[in-house]
Structure 1
Amino acid sequence: MTSPYVWPTDQVVLAKLDWWRDQKFGVIIHWGPYSRLGVVESWTLCQEGEDFMARPEPWQGDPDGYREFYEKLPEGFDAPAFEPERWAEACAAAGMRYVVFTTKHHDGFAMYDTRLSDYKSTTTPLGRDVAAEVFDAFRAHGLGVGVYFSKADWHHPDYWTPGLPTPDRHANHADPGRWRRFTDFTHGQIEELLTGYGPVDVLWLDAGWVKPPREDLDLPRLAARARELQPGLLVVDREVHGPQEDYRTPEQTVPVELQPFPWESCITLGPSWYTAGPGETYKTAGEIVRLLCRIVARGGNLLLGLGPDHTGALPDTIYERLAEIGAWLGTHGEAIYGTRPCEPYETDDLVFTRRADTIYAIGLRVDLDEVRVPLPQPPQAVRLLGHDGPLDWQTDDGEVIVRLPGSHRARHAFALSLTMPPAPNP
């Protein structure tokens, strides 16, 4: 049984959570030296036998040799096409409102200039503080900032102790002294990110298996210190339900109905979290637009996953998708941003959002000529976003019947704005 959601009690955190719920659309960017191999991030270091953990040839039967090979990947990580300004410009134009960037994945490689390890981007041929440049670029375009940080660290000797087997993703020892050192190390790295990298809105902690009682990183102390450094910070100890999970993060899926707590679906644009190589297929802009509409109508945010290839470049197709999504939001964004779910939530090909006295009925089929919107009372006015002319509409038995103009066919989805009479004073 899923544990109940615990609402924050800190008023500053609640205000930030309300801000975050208004943003609706963000981007999560995975990138690291693993991109040189085209494998699934850090997971090929894990020996649990899942298909996504499969190692490239010829390393399937040589776990120790593969780990040594993998940890030398940074020696060739030069990324000549790394242009965070271009990423930020494209994501802002797509209508994204915040970025979550992978400062450290499970392999322990820091994409920032940590003082606590030499396993980091500034010691590679690239020689740059990647996270700092990404955060600065996205802030310059008005986006909020989220720090992705894995609580696991398969490079650190106090998580995976050298000389001991590493049969799974967990720490491979039960030494209290080693674990205390690892806990201090983890707290220290997060403190670096929250003191030297500007304003941070979200601390997005991955590796949900790192939790009490087996792997206790003292998250209450970590979260308290994090909010001393960044007041109002949202802490997302994902998959560890409790007071350090300010919003929930279903991965590659969308809840089937309205959820009674803040949530965010993290879903990739392509087949993986970053660009593994040429020939990849991506979801269409229409699929993403309609996905966003359903998620927002169910009370969530969409965190769209993408990432550059080993050179630091995003493929042209990703830029094309982002531009097309942004064009739709440029016309229809008022039905998305700053809204909340609205009954009846979904009917047939319509989903609903609301802001104050305005209800938005978003149509997920663009070939309709007529729309029937169930409403408890007649609206005062009806508009079709992106259409300047009057609409032919009438009310009938608890429904508003709207004839869509033949000259107007929105791409991907359309949105009706229905202005309702003000609620009577109590």
Structure 2
Amino acid sequence: MKILLTFIFALYYTCTLGQAHNISAGYQKPEDPLVIKNLEDWQDLKFGLFMHWGTYSQWGIVESWSLCPEDEGWTQRKKEHGASYYEYVKNYENLQKTFNPIQFNPQKWAKAAKAAGMQYVVFTTKHHDGFAMFDTKESDYKITDPKTPFSTHPKANITKEIFEAFRQENFKIGAYFSKPDWHSEYYWWPYFPPKDRNVNYDPQKYPDRWEKFKQYTFNQINELTTNYGKIDILWLDGGWVRPLSTVDTTVDWQKTIKLEQDIDMDRIGSMARKNQPGIIIVDRTVPGKWENYVTPEQSIPEQPLHIPWESCITMGDSFSYVPNDNYKPTKTIIETLVKIISRGGNYLLNIAPGPNGDFDPIAYERLEQLTPWININKSAIFSTRTIYPYHKDSYYYMRSKDSKHINVFHLSEGETYQQPSLYRFEIAPEQSIQDIKLLGYRGKLKWKKDKHIITIIPPDHKIEYVAVFQITVK
């Protein structure tokens, strides 16, 4: 069944070092019972960790995009890294020869993320530049190749180490994989210069070359879904690699797609499902049966979406590591989580490891600050679903899956949380209330219900970041 969606997006954050993605206009509900179950479980998790990491972290630049010969803000190249485009590409590719993140310790990441309430991880096994952070047999442009200094490290197969560490902490495991590969001669054929992000030759004119790229992609995804333990999510980026018939010309970035780039997702998806029964496949921005959930980037929909969705948003300004990045305050991160889950989505928060193999200390600080608030309010966050009126004024609503509780979150302006003189919010008039608690407060609240309005007298209690009222209904 196909559900057509129309909605307007509020660009919640301005993406200065990346690219905002649209959501495809159609959603096709999966039919596989194992996928449906996996999606339902994934929607219970609410909060995940995204990690963009590659050789580009050594220069502290945007992930992959400086290789793209488009004149956009996120594709700009620094002159000190190469006087010409081709010199720049050569120097960029030579970053493989110096990449040695010896402080890499995924167990440290997993424990910090778990304490902060995160329950699934999505890691960039290969971004658009084609550098594989796993031991692929299809290319020597990879973390385990002898040209890479880290290849001699006991944890050289970074993807395997990350997946195992997070699996030990009971995370769902997501493998990000870029469909376009700008290093592959079968995508950017060296005979022609690249013109933009798209394939630089006509696949219909050179079908044998395109067939080799399709097989190369198939083989790498087959490796990831057979050699790396249980994979719950295959997160496919690079939505311009798609059948030409699926291009939406009302979307600016899709207007550049002029060539047929059908990579045969039916073959890839069927293989991945055979290797990993029930795996969620996210073919971003390409409508159809392989886009099992949709992925607004650096933005939050203004209204609830009654389909599976996830906002991927950076903790800093960039998806990739940038020295002295501007990390969002903890209060902002929590408020973002509340807004996303009140509209039915999951929050995939990106933290980028640096060239040494670790997070910035500020990122750990933010995760530590999240931990006590999450622990106090977890019963109102996880395994919840949307409920009308979703959001009104400073109040955001959710319900427990069993509908025994309605959770009302109150946000305030400013750097610190400020209680109002009275809490006043609406609830369905027919709703019979058994009790109301302020999570984290052990005293008894003074409240009353007048038709559809609840009024609560603020208790003498310090609230960090966001107040959460849990209403038990009969």
TM-score relative to the length of structure 1: 0.96
Question: Is 1:191 aligned with 2:222?
Answer: yes
- The equivalent position to 1:125 in structure 2, one of 149, 153, 158, is 149
Contact 1:332–1:414 under 8 Å retained in 2: no
What SS does the corresponding residue of 1:342 show, helix, strand or coil?
coil
Residue in structure 2 matched with residue 230 of structure 1 by the alignment? 276
Distance 1:142 1:404 in 2: 38
Matches within 5 A, 1:349-388: 349-355=394-400, 356-365=403-412, 366-367=417-418, 368-375=420-427, 376=429, 377-388=431-442
Residue in structure 2 matched with residue 252 of structure 1 by the alignment? 298
How many pairs align? 419
What SS does the corresponding residue of 1:5 show, helix, strand or coil?
strand
Q: CA deviation at 1:395?
A: 1.2
Residue in structure 1 matched with residue 309 of structure 2 by the alignment? 263
What SS does the corresponding residue of 1:167 show, helix, strand or coil?
coil
Contact 2:82–2:91 under 8 Å retained in 1: no
- The equivalent position to 2:358 in structure 1, one of 313, 319, 342, is 313
Letter matched to residue 318 of structure 2: S
Contact 2:340–2:346 under 8 Å retained in 1: yes
Residue in structure 1 matched with residue 107 of structure 2 by the alignment? 85
What SS does the corresponding residue of 1:165 show, helix, strand or coil?
coil
Question: Is 1:332 aligned with 2:377?
Answer: yes
Residue in structure 2 matched with residue 410 of structure 1 by the alignment? 463
Q: CA deviation at 1:58?
A: 3.5
Matches within 5 A, 1:163-242: 163-174=191-202, 175-213=206-244, 214-242=260-288
Contact 2:61–2:320 under 8 Å retained in 1: no
Distance 2:102 2:25 in 1: 46
Identity of aligned residues (%): 42
What SS does the corresponding residue of 1:126 show, helix, strand or coil?
helix
Distance 2:370 2:239 in 1: 31
- The equivalent position to 1:44 in structure 2, one of 54, 62, 66, is 66
Distance 1:333 1:211 in 2: 39
Residue in structure 2 matched with residue 285 of structure 1 by the alignment? 330
Residue in structure 1 matched with residue 42 of structure 2 by the alignment? 20
What SS does the corresponding residue of 2:463 show, helix, strand or coil?
coil
Q: CA deviation at 1:36?
A: 1.0
Letter matched to residue 317 of structure 2: P
Q: CA deviation at 1:394?
A: 1.0
Residue in structure 2 matched with residue 297 of structure 1 by the alignment? 342
Contact 2:61–2:321 under 8 Å retained in 1: no
Q: CA deviation at 1:411?
A: 0.7
Contact 2:318–2:325 under 8 Å retained in 1: no
Letter matched to residue 332 of structure 2: E
Distance 1:137 1:94 in 2: 16
What SS does the corresponding residue of 1:250 show, helix, strand or coil?
coil
Residue in structure 2 matched with residue 142 of structure 1 by the alignment? 170
Contact 2:81–2:91 under 8 Å retained in 1: no
Distance 1:87 1:369 in 2: 41
Contact 1:380–1:419 under 8 Å retained in 2: yes
Letter matched to residue 94 of structure 2: K
RMSD: 1.2
Q: Alpha-carbon deviations, 1:175-219, whole Å to 9, x = none?
A: 110110110110100010000101011000000100013111100
Residue in structure 2 matched with residue 115 of structure 1 by the alignment? 137
What SS does the corresponding residue of 2:388 show, helix, strand or coil?
strand
Contact 2:269–2:281 under 8 Å retained in 1: yes
Letter matched to residue 436 of structure 2: V
Distance 1:339 1:115 in 2: 42
Contact 2:353–2:360 under 8 Å retained in 1: yes
TM-score relative to the length of structure 2: 0.87
Contact 1:378–1:395 under 8 Å retained in 2: no
Letter matched to residue 139 of structure 2: S
* Structure 1 runs of 4+ with >3 Å offset: 58-61
Question: Is 1:341 aligned with 2:386?
Answer: yes
Letter matched to residue 362 of structure 1: F
Q: Alpha-carbon deviations, 1:229-269, whole Å to 9, x = none?
A: 10110000011122110000000000011112111000000
Distance 2:458 2:108 in 1: 38
Contact 2:439–2:469 under 8 Å retained in 1: yes
Unpaired runs of 5+ residues, structure 1, are 422-426
